[in-house]
Chain A
Amino acid sequence: KQEVTQIPAALSVPEGENLVLNCSFTDSAIYNLQWFRQDPGKGLTSLLLIQSSQREQTSGRLNASLDKSSGRSTLYIAASQPGDSATYLCAVGNSGYSTLTFGKGTMLLVSP
């Protein structure tokens, strides 16, 4: 059974810092990996999707990397802003269908 772990569970940083969120998974036979953002009381918004054949994806200040062999992914956020405050979820696509296994998330607080 696939298990996804996210470290740290919570992170508080001052505005402007670069930061890294970590995600690890136990079964390297994945189809893809997605990073989501969730604001309090809201749904999930997909930030980046990395297919199993890719090593990284970038969108604006966000960069996600994938190392299947070691079962790790990182989400790098450059020049953090208060608007980045949210919970960030890592989810692994386990099959050719829509099944995702989620980590418990990292709650990020960026202070002005």
Chain B
Amino acid sequence: NAGVTQTPKFQVLKTGQSMTLQCAQDMNHEYMSWYRQDPGMGLRLIHYSVGAGITDQGEVPNGYNVSRSTTEDFPLRLLSAAPSQTSVYFCASSYSWTGRVNIQYFGAGTRLSVL
């Protein structure tokens, strides 16, 4: 049981490049989400999904795309990387109980630098 797995752990991009941050969970959780963590800002929600085929925007969605074709995977795509997207990205998942989200499990993070 690996929990929430994020790849890669580190990435350096040039401005304008695109890439996909991978997130996979093996706990059969319905809910998955992406956050970014910046110094002095705390964690902010980018996108989230309540099940396969269903996604929605969070607080800071601009410049990012998501899709959820399977329960296990929730990739985050950067379409055209900008220096402002330099951050640490965390993926999280949780199960629901009586329709409410319970304990969130976080991945180890992807540290992204955009030059």
Chain A residues at the B interface, C-beta cutoff of 8 Å: 4, 31-32, 34, 36, 42-46, 49, 51, 89, 91, 93, 96-105
Contacts and interface: CB of A to CB of B under 8 A. Distances in A.
Contact of A99 (B33, B41, B108): B33
16 contacts: A43-B4, A43-B107, A44-B43, A44-B106, A45-B106, A51-B100, A91-B104, A93-B101, A96-B101, A97-B48, A97-B101, A98-B48, A99-B58, A100-B104, A101-B45, A105-B42
Nearest to B54: A97
B75 interface: no
A103 B100 contact: no
Contacts of A42: 108-109
A89 B90 CA distance: 14
A91 B101 CA distance: 13
Nearest to B104: A46
Contact of B108 (A32, A34, A43): A43
Nearest to B50: A97
B86 to A, nearest CB: 16
The secondary-structure label for the interface of chain B is strand
B87 to A, nearest CB: 14
B45 A99 contact: yes
B32 A98 contact: yes
Nearest to A52: B100
Contact of A98 (B40, B101, B108, B109): B101
B99 interface: yes
B92 interface: yes
A44 B32 CA distance: 15
Contact of B104 (A4, A98, A101, A104): A98
Interface in B85-105: 90, 92, 94, 99-105
Contacts of B31: 97-98
A102 B103 CA distance: 14
Nearest to A47: B103
B11 to A, nearest CB: 15
Contacts of A36: 106
A93 B101 CA distance: 8
